[in-house]
A and B are shown apart, each in its own frame.
Chain A
Amino acid sequence: MNRLLQIARAAALITLVPAIGVSMLELKQPRGVDFTLQNSPTPQKYLIETMPGGVALLDYNNDGLLDVFLVNGGHVDPKHPENFDRHDPRYWNRLYRQNKDGGFTDVTEQAGLANAGDGNYGMGVAVGDYDNDGYPDLYVTSYGKNILYHNNGDGTFTDVTAKAGVAGGGWSVSAGFFDYDNDGKLDLFVTRYMDWDMQHSKDCGGTFHTYCPPGEFPRTTNILYHNRGDGTFEDVSQRSGIAAKKGHGLGVAFADYDGDGFTDIYVANDGMQQYLFHNNRNGTFTEVALQAGAALNLDGGPLSGMGVVFQDYDNDGKPDVIVTTLPRQTYAVFHNDGSGAFSDRGLQTGVTMLSGATSGWGVGLEDFDNDGQKDLFITQGHVLDNVELIDPSLHYLEPTLLALNHNGRFERTDPGTDALVSGRGAAFGDLNNDGWVDAVTTVLGAHPQFFFNRGGSSHWLTITLRGTRSNRDGLGARVQVNGQTRFATTAGSYASANDKRLHFGLGSAKSAKIEVFWPSGTHQVLNDISADQFLDVREPEKP
């Protein structure tokens, strides 16, 4: 009898743990995606060449299947700088519609997304339904002019940049939609990297000729656009205090770190201190990273911040920050200690040990094994395409990092490939609607990588928020499920946009208690919700 019990327990355990030697993720190129990220490296080492490009996972046609939008760089011709040949199909951004059979169809041209405009070298993408019409809109960042594409709801998009007043200018990288004043309309934040242009480019590294570090060029401001609700935005960068701080902004992520009901902004800056813009609840922000302990590493050193994720990794209900960096630094883990303070937990979480020799870009905290703890996924690759000449112990092409979360400590596991790549963007979502999170990354000069989750037997719950008083997608909501917390956002990672749905692994639990803290202030509780379903949660129309 005892022996039978032991066997039964062992069998139960086996069903919860992925088989040893089989990766949780499988790298698989889906049919129909033939995109190549054209960064066009030149001997002149224009810095933009090493920085694209983003990827977005969105359901643009509301057919229940995630589609993929990929941002392209452009053609860099030193004889004709500032052109980039974006009219040439090789340099188009691309939208791939997912078909019911799991394959994809390139719908770029019919969707009206073909030519991103000569003079624009593509960088990143943000997704949000800024007009609350139920269809996700696209905002594409560039060196040059950014573009806001309004989703017409019929499979096409319209460039409404001029009308909306969100062209930006200079060198934008990441962007994200969020509702900073809780008025139910999504606003827009755009990071900008530096005050740089093609005419004033230079290379560094002496005879090695490398891309220059950011400190070689002046800092610049990020941009905050306020959504007026009539299809136009107002640049409130100055008035809000955002423009008071210049930096080398790359990644951006949002969360309400101090629980005051207003969304705050974290900006990953390259080669300097990071910025945490605290929302003052009156339309202004104060940069508080240094005093909050989220600006520098444990030793007071600056970070080459590139990607960033702002989610709760240790299920204490408070959003933490993970910033990806260059090698010879380590990825930063700023644990939210409460009371507005953070502490660097890179050592305790094992993340220090996982980094140090690699360059991290796109990053996500997602529960890949559905055990109720968010795991860490980072796409990696050095900035310098000739770094081996300078330091043979470093490498331009790097492996992808997947680390499982074991009670707050991350341990490396097989990401499904040992391919070495120059990874940049990364977006996360359930591509095949099987209840297990997948990932898509972009690779310089190569096809994107699709990491499909092999799945398992643990339970899960995926929630789509339907805001009524809040913005339609409930971005900015804090959602708690069986002791886990997620902040509703499509932003984070690097230059990319994630599936708006909130995914929760439930482990062995077959039901869940859900609490939603909507941006409107409404607190909604749902009990005994069955596991293993895609659930729409509609915000009560009355508080």
Chain B
Amino acid sequence: MIRTVLALWLAMQAASPEVMQHFEAGRKAESERHFDTAAAEFRKVTELDPAFAAGFVSLGQVYMEQRDYAAAVAPLKHALELDPNFAPAHQLLGYALLAQGYAAEAIPHLARVQEQSALGIAEIETGQFIDAIANLQAALQKRPNDPDLLYYLGRASGLLSKQSIDTLQATAPDSPRAHQSMGENYFVLRRMPEAEKEYREALRLRPDVPEVHLELGVVYATSSQWAKAEQEFRAQAKLQPGDAEAAYRFGTALLEQGKVHEARVEFVRADRLMPDMPETLYSLGKTASLEGDTAVAERAWIKLLSIEKQSSLAAQAHFGLAGLYRKLGKAAEAQHEMQEFENLQNTPQPEKQK
């Protein structure tokens, strides 16, 4: 890209034959990855014609190919003094500065040439997370699933999230949302008593704050306090009856307490709200099986297996089907399902140590 732009630019320049001879020699050496030779030729070009901007850009580029970003900065800046609109110089200088950690200085150069991927990265470094996300998303449209871009987009989003929460904590520390976010932090740290306290305070301040019941229910579920979890998931399901996750978790809390039929009702509701979620299908099959409704159980697990074939849920579905077929006296089908289950379960044993 840079070479193409340089070539077009060169076509419009007037330089002496001697300068052009060194310039071509530099380009040839560079293409052959003889960077020291290329650098020497380009330095000669800049000495012979100090007004020849392309010579400085090419010298900067060779330094960058040698990972000597510090050395690249001076010739690139000089090229821009000669020609402030010289796009290749902006692009390379932006990269050189960013590579050395001078993100703020790099941004104007990268913005000038709309180098969105590098610009997004530089904006992360300078705390401009919203702009960074926009640029990285635009870059991802051109290079879908690029691992680096996906990583930086994730990082920018996470940092933006943290920034928002920090602002929330600083500006409204006693708000329900601040307590909710503190609860989330404690939950991640697995400090359940503190998490519970924060969520409880959020609900005291605003009983209908969305999602807090759900999150508090998860805290209780994690510590196997299923009756309390049920209470919170029930409240969430009442607040947001269209929330499939709330219905699923409500069902799970009921099931853990042995309330099989009530749990099944919630799993059916979750499946209706968000069809074909493997977790819901598995639990639906499980409750149906526990209630002796083998047809529904079989249908749910087979549906799950049409969606997932290698996951732990798939293994569980095979295991469930094996038990179900065994009860129905279908020995061959039971054996087949158990074999499928075992195939997914097999893990190597450690070698004897002695």
Binding site for B on A (CB under 8 A): 195, 197, 200, 215-219, 290-291, 293, 296, 298-301, 327, 330, 341, 343, 347-350, 352-353, 355-357, 391-393, 409
Q: Please tell me if the beta carbons of B223 and A353 are within 8 angstroms of each other in the complex.
A: no
B residues lining the A interface (CB < 8 Å): 189-192, 222-224, 226-227, 255-258, 260, 286, 290, 315-316, 318-320, 323, 326-327, 338, 341, 345, 349-354
Q: Most B CB atoms within 10 A — which of A197, A219, A290?
A: A290
> Which residues of chain B come closer than 8 Å to A293, judged between CB atoms?
323, 326
- Indicate which residue in B256, B315, B319, B351 contacts A353 across the interface (CB closer than 8 Å): B256
What residues on A are CB-neighbors of B326 within 8 Å? 291, 293, 341
How far, in Å, is A340 (CB) from chain B's closest CB? Answer: 11
The CA of A219 and the CA of B348, in the complex, are separated in Å by 12
Inter-chain CA distance A392–B191, complex, in Å, is 6
Within the complex, what minimum Cβ distance (angstroms) separates B161 from chain A? 24
Once A218-B349, A353-B226, A357-B223 are accepted as A-B contacts, the answer to whether A200 and B354 lie under 8 Å apart by CB is yes
Q: Is A347 in contact with B256, judged by CB distance below 8 angstroms?
A: yes
Q: What is the chain A residue whose CB lies nearest that of B319?
A: A300
A304 smallest CB distance to B (angstroms):
15
In the complex, what residues of B have CB within 8 A of residue A350's CB?
257-258
Are A299 and B353 interface neighbours, CB within 8 A?
no
Q: Which of B192, B257, B349, B353 has the most CB of A within 10 A?
A: B353
Q: Which residues of A are found within 8 Å of B255, using beta-carbon distances?
A: 347
Q: Is the CB of A393 within 8 A of B350?
A: no
Residues of A within 8 A of B222 (CB): 393
Query: What's the nearest-Cβ distance from chain B to residue A213, in Å?
Result: 11
| Interface residue SS majority, chain A | loop
Interface centre among A217, A349, A393 (most CB of B within 10 A): A393
Given contacts A216-B350, A341-B326, 15 further A-B contacts (CB under 8 A): A195-B352, A300-B315, A300-B316, A330-B224, A341-B327, A347-B255, A347-B290, A348-B258, A350-B257, A352-B258, A353-B258, A356-B224, A392-B191, A393-B191, A409-B258
- Which one of B227, B286, B338, B353 contacts A195 once the chains associate, using CB atoms below 8 Å? B353
* A217 / chain B contacts, CB cutoff of 8 Å: 350, 353
B260's contact among A290, A301, A348, A356, by CB below 8 Å, is which? A348
Shortest CB-to-CB span from B263 to chain A, Å, is 9
Which residues from A are CB-within-8-Å of B341?
300
By the criterion CB–CB under 8 Å, are B258 and A349 in contact?
A: yes
Contact of A299 with B319 in the complex, beta carbons under 8 Å: yes
- Chain A hits for B327, CB < 8 A: 341
Chain B contacts for A219, CB-based, 8 A = 349
Q: Which residues of A contact B223 (CB under 8 A)?
A: 357, 393
A393 contacts across to B, CB distance below 8 A: 190-192, 222-223
Q: In the assembly, what is the distance between CA of A409 and CA of B260, in Å? A: 14
* Interchain CA distance A138-B151 in the complex, whole Å: 63
B258 contacts A299, C-beta separation under 8 Å: no
- Which residue of chain A is the closest to B352 with respect to CB atoms? A218
Q: Which residues of B contact A216 (CB under 8 A)?
A: 350
Chain B contacts of A357 at CB under 8 A? 223-224
**Shortest Cβ distance from residue A158 to the other chain B in the assembled complex, whole angstroms:** 34
B260 touches A300 (CB 8 A): no
Q: Which of B224, B255, B286, B350 has the most CB of A within 10 A?
A: B224
Q: Chain B residues near A195 (CB, 8 Å)?
A: 352-353
Expressed in whole angstroms, the Cα–Cα distance for A393 and B256 within the complex equals: 19
Complex alpha-carbon distance, A217 and B227, angstroms: 38
A302's nearest neighbour on chain B, judged by CB, is B345
**Set of chain B residues within 8 Å of A327, measured between Cβ atoms:** 224
CB-based contact B316/A347 at 8 Å:
no
B320 in complex: contacting residue of A218, A300, A330, CB < 8 Å: A300
